[in-house]
Structure 1
Amino acid sequence: MPRTVTVPSFDEVLSRLGDEKFDVSPATEGANRVAGARRVSKYGCAAEIAPSDVKDAPVRLLARSGWVLAGEISRLTDRGYQKFFKTSKLEVPATADALTALHKFDEELKNAIGAQELYNEAMGTTSDKYIYDRLKGRA
């Protein structure tokens, strides 16, 4: 007999996130103003989600998860020798503890919202941007 999968509503996902001890608040990122958007945070990391228009997915990710610096969700940048957390105003080197917290946050968030876990993301933290000095100027 085929297995039926019930897709939770956005409100049910928010309730599940609250049960998992995530802090859920209205979204704050200016560029991602969407009706019903929420900022989800835990372990010093945050992401922004909103209700999805797709039938099989109740949640849409607006702002990728990142470490929170000065109230802003940072982007992880890999420069080959070091990873950095970068916001519009500042940039700090990523520590092992911060990367561990980000990886744990991503894993728990995806589990709570029912998102698909990709192999390369499950193996460790992936960066938003890769910048290598020795490749500058190459075509």
Structure 2
Amino acid sequence: MAKKSPKHSFNDVLSLLGSQRFDVAPAQEGAKRTPNAFQVRKYGCAAEIAPAPDGTVLMLSHPGWVLNGEISRLLDKGYQKFLKTSHVEIPATADKLRAIHEFSQELNEAIGATSLYNESLGTTSDVYMYDRVKGRA
């Protein structure tokens, strides 16, 4: 069964993250950025959050390792996990995977997000691209 933490308001979450040594800064402006979005960083990882209409926290991006100032996505190709941005794709090391996992757990706890069993076991990927099933109908 999923374990839920109590929901906090967006301002409470920002102050809680700051007290837990997260770096909290306004997200960089871009073409499709949400107003009042913040980037949260710790352990070399980052995620973007914004206030939801009900006053709680909305996750704008999955937590990922920061590569060249961009939050990477975790790509699983079956034999290896990779960190991928719009410009680069590198193999994910065990240290980076541990950092992403710890960052995700701490961020979800602070936000009050649902804690799922499979996510508690280890890092889950954003994209799965197994080559051995490619082209199957």
Could you tell me the TM-score, scaled by structure 2's length? 0.91
What are the superposed Cα offsets for residues 56-110 of structure 1, whole Å, 9 maximum, x if unpaired? xx10000110000000000000000000000000000000000000000000001
What are the superposed Cα offsets for residues 106-125 of structure 1, whole Å, 9 maximum, x if unpaired? 00001111111111111110
**What residue identity is the alignment partner of 2:14?**
L
* Structure 2 stretches lacking a partner, 5+ long: none
2:76 is aligned to 78
Shift of 1:31: 5.4
Shift of 1:32: 4.6
2:128 is aligned to 130
Shift of 1:29: 6.8
* Structure 1 stretches lacking a partner, 5+ long: none
Specify which structure has the bigger relative contact order, considering alpha-carbon pairs within 8 angstroms and separated by 6 or more residues.
Answer: 2
Shift of 1:21: 0.2
**What residue identity is the alignment partner of 2:26?**
P
Q: How does 1:1-139 map to 2 (within 5 A)?
A: 7-28=7-28, 30=30, 32-54=32-54, 58-139=56-137
Could you tell me the TM-score, scaled by structure 1's length? 0.90
Shift of 1:6: 7.2
CA RMSD, 1 decimal: 1.7
Matched position secondary structure for 1:64: coil
**What residue identity is the alignment partner of 2:119?**
E
The structure having more radius of gyration, on CA atoms, is: 1
